[in-house]
Structure 1
Amino acid sequence: MNKLATTLLSVILCTGTLIAQENDPVVDAIIKEATENSQLESLAHEMMDVIGPRLVGSPQMKQAGKWAVQKFNSWGIDAQLENYGDWQGWQRGITHVDMLEPRVESLQGTQLAWSPSTSKKGLEAQVVILPTIENEDQFNNWLKTIKGKIVLTSMPQPTGRPDENWEEYATDASFEKMKKDRDSMRDSYRDNLRNMGHNSRSIDEALEKAGAVAIIGSNWSRGFGVNKIFSARTKEIPTIDLELEDYGLLYRLAASGHTPKLHINAQSKDLGKQPTFNTIATIKGTEKPEEYVILSAHYDSWDGGTGATDNGTGSITMMEAARILKKHYPNPKRTIIVGLWGSEEQGLNGSRAYVEDHPEIVAGVQAVFNQDNGTGRVVRLSGGGFLQSYDYLSSWLNAVPNDITDKIETSFPGSPARGGSDYASFQAAGAPAFSLSSLSWDYWNYTWHTNRDTYDKIVFDDVRNNAILTAILAYKASEDPDKTSREQAVLPIDSRTGERREWPTPRSPIRTIDE
């Protein structure tokens, strides 16, 4: 049935595009505006380059919210920041890591989010690595030796080359040997942590308690020069992520007895509790104002880079679509809402709060269109488990240019999400919400939560396609004479449990750091 639905949709899209473009002046105007007067580059520059990353609780997140409200207002769209709780406030400062011994070299490192600061002068200390031990008693005896020292906590990688590089150039035997060695190193590393009575999440607390002055890890993302940058788990001492090349250098020196010494200056400010908010923009409907089309993207980001593809690109897509709609479809039949959600990275908190706080809007949702997985053009669209989703989504897609839709694979009725991105918050409440899922562009290795998620990784031709797609879908969903069906498909059997899967239920957000 799914294959047949996909085939039929392809036929409809291929035969219907020219008619839609010839007969619908609003669609023509959307395409022309997006192509000839795109604001995407300037929006991205202001958001990513000028404001920077949008870590929840940071001054940049607040600045970004105010900027978006002003931008919406300049387009004639009502907008406001909607508070739903608080989070730990934190402001990033400089990070300098310099090796002083056995030779001098500046290293590439980033303090993790919410890391405690060094003093203004920084700190100098010897570097040590975790020992190989057999039991907790041995580990506890070793802990007595680390006061005043910097501890390396990550497994050293056997190679800094991505797997695809090995696959292209290495012999099959060499590639397989490298993977086998890496797997063995990983298993030994985990076993050693278990012997200590810890795991990769709990070890930092033990080291801090024992008197270490800093912790250094390396969360390599399996791409050249790319590391994941998440949050610190220390309360008093700084936690630094070093890029693979420099981490490996330190590890080898320490392991061979050459006792590297570092100077670390990692500045940051603990700002206490700070308000968390969603940025909400509204174009009021004229005929059915209590029914809603929601353009959805999370606004917050991690801050190793500038949050360009996670999820700056989704955010500027929704902003650009709203700008175009306001200009060329200023009086929509249904109310169009743009939701730029906060604290998605900590568990969909912004969208879950919105769903919880606005049951009347959720009840009136015609459709939610969410984009949140990189800069690529949309290539997948699922019916989200809504039984009749094929009927209305195929009708709306029929108006979209064929050179956009012929790249999109569809699956109907699909299944509801259980997390991952903000459309899941709406699906759990029974509202028809859909993920506009993008082509990879090596998203998972190179930009997702990494130090390389920056403006230069944006592929604006693909984002322009996505803005056109989103604006036309919103327009057609608004104009549809019928309210969308919320009938849910019977979900398949879970192969793990043998039980039929149930529709996800709404989850409350974390509204305060005290929870």
Structure 2
Amino acid sequence: MKKIFLSIILTLTMQMHIAFAQSKDPVVENIVKEATENSQLEKLAHELMDVIGPRLVGSPQMMQAHEWAVAKYKGWNITAKNEKWGEWRGWERGVSHIDMIAPRVRSLEGMQLAWSPGTAGKTITADVIILPDLADSIAFQKWLPSVKGKFVMISMNQPTGRPDYNWQEFATKESFEKMKKERDTQTEAWTNRMKKTGYSATRTLPPALEKAGAAGVVMSYWSKGFGANKIFGANTKTIPTVDISLEDYGLLYRLAESGHTPKISVRADAKETGISQTFNTIGEIKGTEKPDEYVILSAHFDSWDGGSGATDNGTGTIVMMEAMRILKKVYPNPKRTILVGHWGSEEQGLNGSRAFVEDHPEIIQNIQAVFNQDNGTGRVVNLSGQGFLNSYDYLGRWLTKVPDAIKTPIETRFPGAPGGGGSDFASFVAAGAPAFSLSSLNWSYGTYTWHTNRDTYDKIVFDDVRSNAILAAIMAYQASEDPMKTSREKSILPVNATGKPTAWPEQRKPTRKGGLD
């Protein structure tokens, strides 16, 4: 009896081992092996972020990045091209030098905003004044001539340069609450001060100061973290607009407020380069059985240029490049065509991906799935069905092939709600194509690297990025192999405030001529 029992146990054990061995997928194993033992991520990150740098739409660096990506793909025997979709104002950033020269000397941390006029190779020296708190727009118009020949500060002086988490860790509860109350009061007062000018803070006020003869516009868009400022675009056409770090902006503000009249010198080199062509970089591994059905790996290629565009969206870019490299090596003959799209001008309104959707209806109607990665360096922890009713079925099946260490932290939401914006997946969702955001762990992204001067190579967490490359490659492989075409049936969305069902996002046209008015 004992021998029979042992025999049964051995038989069951062998059957379990056989079943486990059969469940293993050699392609998945080779994806993991290649990503782990032969990763190209660090090299790609260095070449893109350190050598080429930030990729502002219309800049020479953006074009350099497109050409670099095509060359990389061709070196991996992947067909790739740059596909034109529009035109943009060409502009190239130069060196920014900002120094306080009175009442004492100090070099200041700051830079001109994107598309800011330069100073024509000269250094502009002038007093700094604060936007005053006046009674109304009539009083402001009377004050405007006094800005002639001066730098005008248009941002609120923050009461603290310490982020809230630092206060929570070290301050007394009473001190923290007092600071927040004072900050709220100050913020409300500054908002009212701005309203009384009759202008909007960043759109219409700088041109009004420019017209009145100001030497330049000085601002500070603090990102609520140590040393982090957000760097966006200028709205002046002849005078420089510069952003100065919270610490140094506060210094100038306090000196001006106390009557010590700070004086700064600014040299901001910038070059207008005419009308620039704008592109998407498209790579392709042709399908063998269903070449006219498509799996798309997606990431925007452009960035703001306060840092080097590392986590927005250099990391998403190299994730998809690495996934394509690995797939070409271990899965060179997919059933469906696998495309990669590196989109231009996402930051100005998803323009590159919207143009692709508009220009390629034959691809859009035959998409199996789009996987987009954008928001930072962290490992993927969220995956929503984007409102597609049956997305739980195919996404769930594909995820079963992903290693547990990568799959387990991912929180899924099915069917979820369709994204109307935020990143390029939304361009495809609006057209009814099943497109999904591989959403990342925070890593203080919104505070420290999203559109800031601190979005640089050193913030990349390569273990997380490697995990994402493995995930993207496996999901693309599974989507390609699936014998079933994915369902596009949409869920019924919840009612809105008017009591009517929420509408599915509408497909929107891209801006194909930017900054040229």
Which TM bucket (shorter chain)? Answer: over 0.9
Residue in structure 2 matched with residue 434 of structure 1 by the alignment: 436
**Structure 1 residues 83 and 446, CA, compared in 2 at 3 Å: closer, same or farther?**
same
Unaligned runs of 5+ in 2: 1-15
Deviation at 1:199, TM superposition (A): 2.0
Residue in structure 2 matched with residue 327 of structure 1 by the alignment: 329
Matched residue pairs, number?
499
Residue in structure 1 matched with residue 80 of structure 2 by the alignment: 79
Residue in structure 1 matched with residue 488 of structure 2 by the alignment: 486
Instruction: After superposing the two structures, state which structure 1 stretch, 303-312 or 183-192, moved more.
Output: 183-192
Describe the superposition over 1:204-251 as per-residue Cα deviations: whole angstroms up to 9, x where unpaired: 111111100111100000000000000001010000000000000000
Q: Distance in 2 between matches of 1:144 and 1:395?
A: 67
Describe the superposition over 1:153-196 as per-residue Cα deviations: whole angstroms up to 9, x where unpaired: 10000000001111111111211111111111111111111111
Residue in structure 2 matched with residue 294 of structure 1 by the alignment: 296
Residue in structure 2 matched with residue 167 of structure 1 by the alignment: 168
| Contact 1:21–1:28 (8 Å) recurs in 2 | no
Residue in structure 2 matched with residue 381 of structure 1 by the alignment: 383
Deviation at 1:21, TM superposition (A): 9.0
1:31-430 aligned at under 5 Å gives the runs: 31-201=32-202, 202-430=204-432
Residue in structure 2 matched with residue 24 of structure 1 by the alignment: 25
| Contact 1:431–1:486 (8 Å) recurs in 2 | yes
Q: Runs of 4 or more off by more than 2 Å in structure 1? A: 18-23, 496-499
| Letter matched to residue 80 of structure 1 | K
Describe the superposition over 1:350-409 as per-residue Cα deviations: whole angstroms up to 9, x where unpaired: 000000000000011000000010000000000110000011001100000001111100
Q: Distance in 2 between matches of 1:374 and 1:431?
A: 24
Deviation at 1:22, TM superposition (A): 5.5
Of residues 458, 461, 481 in structure 2, which corresponds to 1:459? 461
| Contact 1:190–1:199 (8 Å) recurs in 2 | no
Unaligned runs of 5+ in 1: 1-14
Q: Distance in 2 between matches of 1:421 and 1:144?
A: 43
Q: Distance in 1 between matches of 2:227 and 2:83?
A: 38
Q: Distance in 1 between matches of 2:42 and 2:48?
A: 10
Q: Distance in 2 between matches of 1:167 and 1:198?
A: 36
Instruction: After superposing the two structures, state which structure 1 stretch, 430-439 or 137-146, moved more.
Output: 137-146
Instruction: After superposing the two structures, state which structure 1 stretch, 465-474 or 19-28, moved more.
Output: 19-28
Q: Distance in 1 between matches of 2:388 and 2:235?
A: 40
| Letter matched to residue 260 of structure 2 | H
Deviation at 1:497, TM superposition (A): 3.5
Describe the superposition over 1:110-134 as per-residue Cα deviations: whole angstroms up to 9, x where unpaired: 1000000002121110110011111
| Letter matched to residue 362 of structure 2 | E
Deviation at 1:19, TM superposition (A): 4.3
Q: Distance in 2 between matches of 1:441 and 1:127?
A: 37
Query: Residue 434 of structure 1 aligns to a residue in which SS?
Result: strand
Q: Distance in 2 between matches of 1:254 and 1:375?
A: 40
| Letter matched to residue 93 of structure 1 | G
Q: Distance in 1 between matches of 2:349 and 2:460?
A: 25
| Contact 1:20–1:398 (8 Å) recurs in 2 | no
Query: Residue 229 of structure 2 aligns to a residue in which SS?
Result: coil
Q: Distance in 1 between matches of 2:138 and 2:463?
A: 59
| Letter matched to residue 138 of structure 2 | D
Query: Residue 446 of structure 1 aligns to a residue in which SS?
Result: helix
Matched, 1:475 2:483: no
| Letter matched to residue 285 of structure 1 | G
Query: Residue 144 of structure 1 aligns to a residue in which SS?
Result: helix
Identity value in percent: 65
Query: Residue 417 of structure 1 aligns to a residue in which SS?
Result: coil
**Structure 1 residues 224 and 20, CA, compared in 2 at 3 Å: closer, same or farther?**
farther
